[in-house]
Amino acid sequence: MPLAKILSSVKRVGIDWYTLALIGCVVLAAIMPARGAAAAALGTVTYWAVALLFFLYGAKLSTSTIAQGLINWPLQSLCLACTFLLFPVLTVSFSPLTASLLPAAVSIGFLYIGCLPSTVQSSIAFTSISRGNVAGAICAASLSNLLGVVLSPLLFSMVIASRSEFGIDSSAIWKICQQILLPFVAGQLCRPLLAGFLNRYRLPTMIVDRGSILLIVYAAFSAGRVNGVWDLISPAMLTIIVGFCAVLLTLVLVVSLGTGKMLRLPREDSLALVYVGSTKSMATGIPMAGILFGGQDISLIVIPIMVFHLMQLIVCAVISQRVAHASAACA
Tell me how far apart the terminal alpha carbons of the chain are, to the nearest angstrom: 36
Mean pLDDT of 127-152: 85
Q: Is the pLDDT of residue 206 over 90?
A: no
DSSP state, residue 323: H
Q: Could you tell me how far CA 178 lies from the centroid of its own chain?
A: 19
Is there a contact between 308 and 112 (Cβ–Cβ < 8 Å)? no
- Residue 267, class by beta-carbon neighbours within 10 Å (0-12 exposed, 13-18 middle, 19+ buried)? middle
Nearest residue to 271 via CA among 78, 19, 86: 78
Residue 161: strand, helix, or coil: coil
In a domain, 23, yes or no: yes
Is there a contact between 288 and 153 (Cβ–Cβ < 8 Å)? yes
Which segment, 43-57, 69-83, 204-218, 225-239, is predicted with the most confidence on average? Answer: 69-83
User: What is the model's pLDDT at position 65?
Assistant: 66
Domain that holds residue 254: 3-323
CA-based Rg of the chain, rounded to a whole angstrom? 19
User: What is the model's pLDDT at position 9?
Assistant: 54
Q: Is the pLDDT of residue 169 over 60?
A: no
Number of CB atoms found within 10 A of residue 64's CB: 9
- Confidence class for position 128, pLDDT limits 50, 70, 90: confident
Q: Which residue has the higher pLDDT, 206 or 78?
A: 78
Q: Is the pLDDT of residue 162 over 60?
A: no
User: What is the model's pLDDT at position 330?
Assistant: 66
User: What is the model's pLDDT at position 331?
Assistant: 56
Average pLDDT, whole number, for the chain? 81
Mean pLDDT of 260-285: 91
User: What is the model's pLDDT at position 54?
Assistant: 79
In a domain, 110, yes or no: yes
Q: Which residue has the higher pLDDT, 167 or 219?
A: 219
- Confidence class for position 97, pLDDT limits 50, 70, 90: very high
In a domain, 330, yes or no: no
* pLDDT tens digits, one per residue of 27-60: 888 888 888 888 888 888 888 887 887 788 778 7
In a domain, 329, yes or no: no
In a domain, 187, yes or no: yes
In a domain, 328, yes or no: no
Cα(307)–Cα(241) distance, integer angstroms: 8
Residue 28: strand, helix, or coil: helix
Mean pLDDT of 158-172: 63
Least confident of 23-32, 82-91, 108-117, 218-227: 218-227
User: What is the model's pLDDT at position 167?
Assistant: 54
User: What is the model's pLDDT at position 115?
Assistant: 93
| Number of domains observed in the structure of the chain | 1
- Confidence class for position 158, pLDDT limits 50, 70, 90: confident
CATH number, domain containing residue 73: 1.20.1530.20
DSSP state, residue 179: I
Nearest residue to 209 via CA among 21, 54, 20: 54
User: What is the model's pLDDT at position 161?
Assistant: 67
**Dihedral of the alpha carbons of 216, 62, 17, 322, in degrees to the nearest 10:** 130
* pLDDT tens digits, one per residue of 237-270: 989 999 999 999 999 999 999 999 999 999 999 9
In a domain, 181, yes or no: yes
In a domain, 331, yes or no: no
